[in-house]
């Protein structure tokens, strides 16, 4: 189906993007690019949506109903990133404003970072690096810096989407036994390929696993999915890795559990109030705190930019959007 084309859309980009993407954006569109890499304020976002056809935001922009209400000619929010929890997709949809994202291209890099944390936390890699730099490596000893073996342990994945599956593949290669919890059970062939055990009840899975990896999206139903009660279900030697969104874990409860030795450690790439990190987590040696770098490779960021431009081209040429995001319950058949 061909929709109305918008030949020369005014595009506003909220953050600095890789230079080759900015150059191409300038070639293709009337693009208003950011001079400095600083997030826009809510007032600036409102001003932006009142003066463009396409907004290109990132995870650091809160595109809430208030911002969307300020839009005049806005037709498309072409998000630079896969997660769209910072956008009120329902409010956009209600006003006929399309939302697109950049899935797929950051899967492998995010899974690599997840796997790196799954290995680095039990083996105390970052703690060891710190000790060496601080002059606290006095030579090899049979009992120095012992961690825990990864091979043979049970990995529980929450969220068996693209990234969860890519983590499962890596984990199998490292000899981990893969378990998962997801809203829906994965199709048989995928479960078979990944040799993954499905747990319909999250609580039951938490009692059975050694390492928990969170790769589900942040939605109202996953908010604080891992809370104080659920943390208590996990064993004292277990680890948590989160590369999805901070909001999925009650960060204060996690900090408390780790401080009290209820868990073995954690590897986090995302936080509830980014860039702020719970002060107690900062003090713990058995926690690795990565600065939201799941997709931070030149390759991913370039390909995310490509996807953003392809989605904007769909508007220019009047084609269906390749990466359209819909609010829950909405149907694809409506005004594609
Ligand atoms: C992105 C991410 O870097 O794509 C996502 O959802 O979490 C990150 O890897 C970020 O969203 C860019 O907007």
In sequence order, what DSSP letters do the residues of 232-260 get, joined into one string?
Answer: HHS-TT-EEEE-S-GGGB-HHHHHHHHHT
Q: Examine the domain organization and report whether 98 and 140 are in the same domain.
A: no
**Domain span at residue 49?**
10-105+297-317
Residue 219 belongs to a domain with what CATH number?
Answer: 3.40.50.720
> Half-sphere exposure of 216 toward its Cβ, with a 13 Å CA cutoff?
25
Half-sphere CA count of 193, side-chain side, radius 13 A: 12
200 and 304, same domain (yes or no): no
Kindly give the number of the ligand 1 atom that is closest to the alpha carbon of 60.
13
The verdict on residue 2 lying in a domain is: no
- Same domain membership, residue 125 and residue 48: no
Question: Which residue has a Cα nearest atom 12 of ligand 1?
Answer: 81
The answer to whether residues 66 and 129 belong to one domain is no
How many alpha carbons fall within 13 Å on the CB side of residue 302? 6
Q: Residue 217 Cα, ligand 1 centroid: separation in angstroms?
A: 11
Same domain, 220 and 145: yes
Q: Are residues 195 and 93 in the same domain?
A: no
Domain identity same for 89 and 232: no
Would residue 330 count as lying in a domain?
Answer: no
The answer to whether residue 327 sits within a structural domain is no
Nearest CA to ligand 1 atom 1: 81
Q: CA–CA distance from 78 to each of 71, 94, 138, 264, 295 (Å)? A: 14, 17, 53, 40, 17
Residue 140 CA to ligand 1 centre (angstroms) = 40
| CA gap 271, 131 in Å, rounded | 25
Q: Which residues are catalytic?
A: 245, 274, 292
Number of domains in the chain: 2
Q: Are both 279 and 160 inside the same structural domain?
A: yes
Closest atom of ligand 1 relative to the 83 alpha carbon: 6
326 falls within a domain = no
Per-residue pLDDT of the chain (336 residues; tens, 9 = 90+): 557 789 999 999 999 999 999 999 999 999 999 999 999 999 999 999 999 999 999 999 999 999 999 999 999 999 999 999 999 999 999 999 999 999 999 999 999 999 999 999 999 999 999 999 999 999 999 999 999 999 999 999 999 999 999 999 999 999 999 999 999 999 999 999 999 999 999 999 999 999 999 999 999 999 999 999 999 999 999 999 999 999 999 999 999 999 999 999 999 999 999 999 999 999 999 999 999 999 999 999 999 999 999 999 999 999 999 999 999 877 655 443
Residues 42 and 144 in one domain: no
Q: How far is the CA of 39 from the centre of ligand 1 (A)?
A: 14
Query: Are 66 and 111 contained in the same domain?
Result: no
Which residues' Cβ are closer than 6 Å to ligand 1? 58-59, 80-83, 106, 294-295
Residues 167 and 223 in one domain: yes
Mutate to test the pocket of ligand 1, among 292, 293, 305 (most ligand atoms within 8 A of CB): 292
Please tell me whether residues 70 and 214 are part of one structural domain.
no
The model's pTM: 0.96
Residue 334 is assigned to a structural domain of this protein:
no
Q: Please state the atom number of ligand 1 nearest to the C-alpha of residue 59.
A: 13
Span from the CA of 81 to the centroid of ligand 1 (angstroms): 4
């Amino acid at each position: 189906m061909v929709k109305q084309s918008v030949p020369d859309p005014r595009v506003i980009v909220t953050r600095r993007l890789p230079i080759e993407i900015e150059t191409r954006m300038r070639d293709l569109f009337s693009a208003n690019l950011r001079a400095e890499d600083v997030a826009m304020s809510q007032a600036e976002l409102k001003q932006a949506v009142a003066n463009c056809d396409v907004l290109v935001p990132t995870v650091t922009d809160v595109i809430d109903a208030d911002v969307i209400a300020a839009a005049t000619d806005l037709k498309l929010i072409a998000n630079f990133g896969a997660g769209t929890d910072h956008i009120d997709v329902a409010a956009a949809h209600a006003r006929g404003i399309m939302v697109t994202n950049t899935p797929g291209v950051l899967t492998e890099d995010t899974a690599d970072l997840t796997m790196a944390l799954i290995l680095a936390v039990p083996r105390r890699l970052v703690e060891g690096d710190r000790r060496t730099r601080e002059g606290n490596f006095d030579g090899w000893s049979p009992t120095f810096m012992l961690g825990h073996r990864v091979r043979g342990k049970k990995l529980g994945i929450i969220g068996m989407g693209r990234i969860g599956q890519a983590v499962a593949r890596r984990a199998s290669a490292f000899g981990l036994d893969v378990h998962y919890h997801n809203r829906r059970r994965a199709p048989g062939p995928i479960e078979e390929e990944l040799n993954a055990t499905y747990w319909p009840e999250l609580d039951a899975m938490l009692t059975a696993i050694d390492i928990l990896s969170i790769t589900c999206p942040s939605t109202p139903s996953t908010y604080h999915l891992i809370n104080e009660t659920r943390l208590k279900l996990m064993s004292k030697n277990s680890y948590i890795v989160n590369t999805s969104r901070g909001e999925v874990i009650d960060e204060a409860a996690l900090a408390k559990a780790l401080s009290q030795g209820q868990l073995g450690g954690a590897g986090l790439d995302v936080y509830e109030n980014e860039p702020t990190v719970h002060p107690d987590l900062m003090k713990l040696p058995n926690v690795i705190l990565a600065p939201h770098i799941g997709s931070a490779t030149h390759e991913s960021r370039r390909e995310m930019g490509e996807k953003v431009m392809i989605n904007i081209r769909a508007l220019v040429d009047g084609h269906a959007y390749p990466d359209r995001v819909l609010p829950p319950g909405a149907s694809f058949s409506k005004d594609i």
